[in-house]
Structure 1
Amino acid sequence: MITMQRISKMKNSVIFDLDGTLLNSLDDLADSTNYTLRTAGYPERTRDEVRRFVGNGIYKLIERAVPAGTDKAEIDKCFDIFCQNYKKNMANKTKPYPGITDMLKTLYENGFKLAIVTNKADFAAQELCGEMFGDYVKTVVGSVKERRNKPFPDNVLFAMEKMGSEKSETVYVGDSEVDVETAKNSGLSMIAVLWGYRSREVLEKAGAEKTAKDAEELKKMLLNLKK
């Protein structure tokens, strides 16, 4: 059984999840999902349904959003519709959660190496993160065919290699049960955030031990780990 590493002192690297952790992207994801469903002639989904569907990448989002029993060829077609629409509309309503930009700036100025690892398609991750966090986060790893998505550790380990960071000095931050499992699979300690797409109950049931209620509390927790 893989267990999550307990948080110890002297961390100098942080890997963040993106959607639900740094960015509130739910409205744009829901809008593109429902555009896709309308175009394909399927019933639309509520915002709360889309919230439950996100976390494992765009393809899985579409697979969950279409009616049960939809065949793979049709899911593939819907996935293509979504990607084309989302490319044009992914920044309409998406914005950082309160305090996130200040937190990243402070961590960067205090010598932390920062990375973002997300199951969001790499084209979207690079564009959004570059525009919103590019001054502070130099390593962004999105979903690509060459590596498995979270909760597999592939992209986390790839990011750590790019940063030149060791497991013992790295902490992972995310908002979902997928992130808790990712941290376990990667051998990293983790802090779960409570403002994202999953409840405290879901996170604690998944095994989260440390939580932060807002960006200010998370910033203080991370700075304390570097002392």
Structure 2
Amino acid sequence: MLSGVLFDLDGTLLDTVEDFMAVIDSMLDEHQRPRVAPELIRAQVSDGSIGMLSVAFATRPGEPGFDALRDEFLTRYERALAVHTRPFPGIMPLLDWLDTEGLPWGVVTNKLSRFSIPLMEQIGLSERCGSLVCPDQVSQGKPHPEAIFKACAELSISPQHCVFVGDHLRDIQAGRAAGMDTIAALYGYLPAEEDHTAWQATHSVYTATDLQPWLLGRRNLETIDV
């Protein structure tokens, strides 16, 4: 039985890349560095500030100045979390359908609580979200399934009756490790060279609009009396 749905946050539920780009661009300008192509930053969003800064400033953790850049980035982003961020097209109708059907939904993310909680509040989804699990709330983040188990417990559903949607390999790995069906959100922040077929997700979608028909189809199959 389909009893609930869990989503990754950045690149799956919310399109956050423009707010990240705004911070990166302002930092590059102030540091008198050339701007980088937006698609390069987009492909690094799932790897967080470390991935984005590594590409934008051609540096790595442990190199001189990296920690200061990261602190600057996080401070600036925290001040402007939801200027351009919006749910992906198709997400709001899907959430409306889940609410109408009485199917609880939640978010399991590797984005820290300090950003995730106010972001969901500013977007207007915090009251509707049945569970929001961040990496600082568990001992092990994705791809470990601990956060998924916590979210399912908060939603009062079995992992086997839940579906996890994500745009990164670790999302699919976490969902599979929890024993649930998984959907690869290929509209998210995947590098162009990523081979998503190797993820072994249960299903893949190229737009968020395609999520509801698949979930509806699965639920309808469960109602057939065989």
TM-score tier, shorter chain, comes to 0.7 to 0.9
Q: Please, what TM-score do these two structures have when normalized by structure 2?
A: 0.83
**Separation in 1, partners of 2:173, 2:164:** 11
The alignment status of 1:178 with 2:170, answered yes or no, reads yes
Count residues in correspondence: 218
Change in 2 beyond 3 A, CA 1:119/1:33: farther
Residues 143 and 40 (structure 1), Cα distance of their counterparts in 2 relative to 1, 3 Å cut: farther
Among 130, 138, 155, the alignment partner of 2:130 is 138
Q: Give 1:24 deviation, angstroms.
A: 1.1
Cα distance in 1 between the residues matched to 2:99 and 2:150: 20
What's the counterpart of residue 106 of structure 2? 115
Distance in 1 of aligned mates of 2:144 and 2:34: 32
* RMSD (CA atoms): 2.5
Which one of 203, 218, 221 corresponds to residue 225 of structure 1? 218
**TM-score, scaled to structure 1:** 0.83
Partner of 2:223: none
Could you tell me how far 1:172 is from its partner in structure 2?
Answer: 0.4
Contact 1:13–1:112 under 8 Å retained in 2:
yes
Matched, 1:166 2:186: no
Deviates more, 1:38-47 or 1:113-122: 38-47
Aligned match of 1:192 in 167, 184, 200? 184
Q: Is 1:31 aligned to residue 22 of structure 2?
A: yes
3-state DSSP class of the match of 1:160?
helix
- The question of 1:154 aligning with 2:117 is answered no
Distance (Å, rounded) in 1 between the aligned partners of 2:57 and 2:193: 28
- 8 Å CA contact 1:20–1:197 kept in 2: the answer is yes
Cα offset, 1:114, TM superposition: 0.5
Residue 126 in structure 1 maps to residue 126 in structure 2: no
Counterparts in 2 of 1:60 and 1:201: CA distance versus 1, 3 Å: closer
Whole-angstrom CA distance in 2 between matches of 1:188 and 1:70: 34
> SS state of the match for residue 24, structure 2?
helix
The equivalent of 1:93 in structure 2 is 84
Distance in 1 (CA, whole Å) between partners of 2:198 and 2:65 is 34
Change (3 A) 1:126 1:73: farther
* Structure with bigger RCO (C-alpha 8 Å, 6+ apart): 1
Question: Identity across aligned pairs (percent)?
Answer: 26
Is the counterpart of residue 21 in structure 1 residue 4 in structure 2? no
Deviations 1:72-124 (A, max 9, x none): 56322222111110012221111111121111011112011101111222222
Shift of 1:38: 4.7
CA–CA distance in structure 2, aligned partners of residues 183 and 134 of structure 1: 22
Q: Is the 8 A contact 2:6 2:163 kept in 1?
A: yes
Gaps of 5+ in 1: 1-9
**Corresponding position: 1:212 with 2:205:** yes
Could you say if the C-alpha distance between residues 193 and 69 of structure 1 is closer, same or farther in structure 2, counting changes exceeding 3 Å? closer
Deviates most, 89-98 or 156-165:
156-165
Distance change >3 Å, CA 185–CA 78, structure 1 → 2: farther
Q: 1:20-99 residue pairs with structure 2 within 5 A?
A: 20-39=11-30, 43-63=34-54, 65-69=56-60, 71=62, 74-99=65-90
Tell me the distance in 1 between the aligned counterparts of 2:177 and 2:47. Answer: 15
Measured after TM superposition, the shift of residue 127 of structure 1 is 1.6
2:134 aligned counterpart, secondary structure:
strand
Paired with 1:138 and 1:188, the residues of 2 have a C-alpha distance of 18
Structure 2 residue identity aligned to 1:191: I
